[in-house]
A and B are shown apart, each in its own frame.
Chain A
Amino acid sequence: MELLNKIFIAPFVDMVAAPDFLMQVLWEGLVSGVLYSLIALGFVLIYRSSRIFNFAQGIMVVFAALTLVGLHEMGVPAWLSVFLTLAVMFGLAVSVERIVLRPLVGQPDIILFMATIGITLFLIGLGEIIFGGENKQMITKELGIPTGSTDFDILGGYVSFQHIDITAVAVAGLLVTSLLLFLNKTRMGRAIRALGDDHQAALSVGISLQTIWILVWFIAGIIALVTGIAWGSRAGVSFALEVIAYKALPVLMLGGLESIQGAIIGGLMIGMLEKMFEIYWGQPILGGNTESWFAYMLALVVLLFRPQGLFGEKIIERV
């Protein structure tokens, strides 16, 4: 009885009793959800255009953020280090395509997946050697990102909004919009989608696999940099950031591996629900730290009903 009360009644009573706290929890969840969505977006882009499950997306976030901070520490002005970081990410995209993907074209999915884990390990080692393993401060001030927070009077209490978070949400919105425009309205975007639909047909109408792959990995690199800046300014830049990559995987499952809307909606859902679960159920009943698995369990339950995720392409199987 006590337990049932704790599960079904007490949390909701708490929510109604302190609506401002609920708002705060939801806002925090939304912000982490935005970041999950961004990482998931990088995954989806690469998966759509090449059917590669890019495990390295998480480490690309760390690598981009580390490069940015590391360059700035060497005395490069902030704006220049952003451009240099983008150049590094472009270099990374080209070398990944040249060295790793080109020889592996047409191999089974799992081999390509393993190759991206290989890339992950390589980047971890390289990043540690060049930039060191300690936690670094993100250069928020130098990049002109507002810091501080504003308190709003909502529902008879205060909800505090960090300016960094507001900026992150706005930038993410902008990024997603421009990405959707790029994919849907430009020649290159159409080529990317064509490649995702059918490799061979796309090749036969003259779409260059190499160019598109480099482009897609570069876009994933840009997304990684934005994610790195946003997340880094909340928690600092270190290899601990890598764990957020594991948060993006259930987002993909929930939203569907091919769907951009899925990545966004899935990310926001998981961000908010896992925060709520942790605060209202996880900590009182289960001893906390449920965020490490809640998203996976949620996605697993959803997948039992929709095996392709909420927005994934319908799986049609033929013999």
Chain B
Amino acid sequence: MLYRTAGQFKTSYRADQALFPIKQDSFLLGIILICAWVVFPLTASEFTFQTILTPILIYSLAALGLNILTGFAGQLSLGTGAFMGVGAYACYKMITLMPWMNPVIAILLSGVFSAGVGVAFGIPSLRIKGFYLAIATLAAQFFLVWLFEKWSWLYNDNASGAIQVPNLDMFGLYVAGPQASSITQYYLVLIIVSLLTYVAINLTRGNLGRTWKATRDMDIAAELIGINLMKSKLTAFAVSSYIVGVSGALFVFMWRGAAEPNLFDIPLSFRVLFIAIIGGLGSIMGNYLGAILIVGLPVVLNTVPAALGIHIESALVEHLNIMIIGSLIIFFLIIEPHGLAQLWRLIREKLIIWPFPH
């Protein structure tokens, strides 16, 4: 009923190939965008910005990067956390070496460094496949985190071994550091995330995206029809690490404010992987759905006992959260192995043909 497609005729190939061939989809997207750009910033509190809105955006960007590599190009990676770290440290070094630099430019440039590192660690993917490659990306994970700790040049030789975000301003407005307001940071993150999502959607629909999908589905067959595997895999690593690196820079500069090397350790990688897989591999929208679930769930779980008037120790709540998240991951994998995006696709399909299912 809501998704009545009757009467929407396409008269050109261009219209048929459009991003949202059905009017209701663009309408829905419009509502979501209005919410994200106008409604949430007007109504949200400081707490909501810090615990829900900004982290969801940053995590979905990281998952988007991973999804390009794993979901679109089929190369399983467990080193996302470390690549986020490369982005964060690169951004920190640029900001401290060149304080006059525009923070947004620095954040966007920091992705270039992690793209370089990503390509270097992606080279083995030309020979190694499947789980062997997954373990190989763990080499990047452990090596880079070790490097963040031991290479004191990276954190300007300070005693704590952590990086601290200084106050940064853009046109007289603080955008990072202790003095920046959450709403500015939220808008900045939103702009970068929207931009990169738009780029990613178009990349995956174009020539490059098809090359990646062919590589994912069967790389030998792809090679036989004339796809240069080296180019395809390495571009996937580069684009993916770029996005992941930018999200890492945002993670530290727009949200955490400070970072120690172990922040980028393996739990972060897994968290991003959960988001990508629960959201749906090979889907752009899935990353957002997954991030909402994985970031939002602990917040909800923390408030439920208090709302019900039950007093539980915070340590117990934390452990219960881990258990519940673990079981939910299994639960979602069982009900829909292709992720939340597929779930939405099915619902949408049902809505379109409702109430006559034949």
Contacts and interface: CB of A to CB of B under 8 A. Distances in A.
A156 interface: no
Nearest to A96: B330
B128 A296 contact: no
A316 to B, nearest CB: 11
B135 A249 contact: yes
User: Mostly helix, strand, loop or mixed at chain B's interface?
Assistant: helix
Contacts of B130: 109
Contact of B224 (A109, A129, A287, A319): A319
Nearest to A99: B330
A253 B127 contact: no
Interface string A246-258: 1001101100010
8 contacts: A107-B333, A109-B130, A114-B273, A114-B277, A114-B329, A122-B327, A253-B136, A300-B139
A108 B216 CA distance: 13
A126 B323 contact: yes
B220 interface: yes
B348 interface: no
B320 interface: yes
Contacts of B323: 121-122, 124-126, 129
B150 interface: yes
Given A129-B320, A303-B127, A309 B330 contact: no
Given A104-B334, A117-B329, A125-B320, A296 B138 contact: yes
Nearest to A254: B135
Interface residues of A, number: 50
Nearest to A130: B319
A13 interface: no
Interface in B114-168: 124, 127-132, 134-136, 138-139, 142-143, 145-146, 149-150
B76 interface: yes
Size category of the B interface is 35 or more
B337 A286 contact: no
B91 interface: no
B124 A300 contact: yes
B127 A307 contact: yes
Nearest to A123: B326
Contacts of B124: 300, 303-304
Of the candidates A104, A109, A300, A309, the one having the most CB atoms from chain B within 10 angstroms of its own CB is A300
Closest 3 CB pairs of A and B: A121-B326, A125-B323, A122-B326
Given A110-B281, A114-B273, A124-B322, 15 more contacts: A100-B334, A107-B337, A115-B329, A115-B330, A117-B274, A118-B326, A121-B326, A125-B320, A125-B321, A125-B323, A129-B320, A249-B138, A293-B146, A304-B127, A319-B220
Contacts, number: 135
B266 interface: yes
Interface string B188-230: 0000000000000000000000000000001011001000000
B18 interface: no
B270 A253 contact: no
Contacts of B131: 53, 109, 113, 257
Contact of B138 (A99, A246, A304): A246
B326 A120 contact: yes
Contacts of A113: 131, 134
A115 B266 contact: no
A297 interface: yes
A237 to B, nearest CB: 17
A118 B330 contact: yes
B326 A125 contact: yes
A129 B128 CA distance: 40
B139 to A, nearest CB: 4
Interface in B270-285: 270, 273-274, 277, 281
B157 to A, nearest CB: 14
B26 to A, nearest CB: 32
Interface string A227-251: 0000000000000000000100110
A117 B78 CA distance: 12
A110 B130 CA distance: 9
A296 B326 contact: no
Interface string A274-317: 00000000000011011011001101100110011100000101
Contacts of B329: 114-115, 117-118, 121
Interface in A105-157: 107-111, 113-115, 117-126, 128-129
B132 A303 contact: yes
B95 interface: no
B300 interface: no
A293 B141 CA distance: 8
B335 to A, nearest CB: 9
A206 interface: no
B150 A286 contact: yes
Contacts of B320: 125, 129
B325 interface: yes
A304 B150 CA distance: 27
Contacts of A296: 135-136, 138-139, 142-143
A309 B326 contact: no
Contacts of A126: 323
B316 interface: yes
Contacts of B326: 118-125
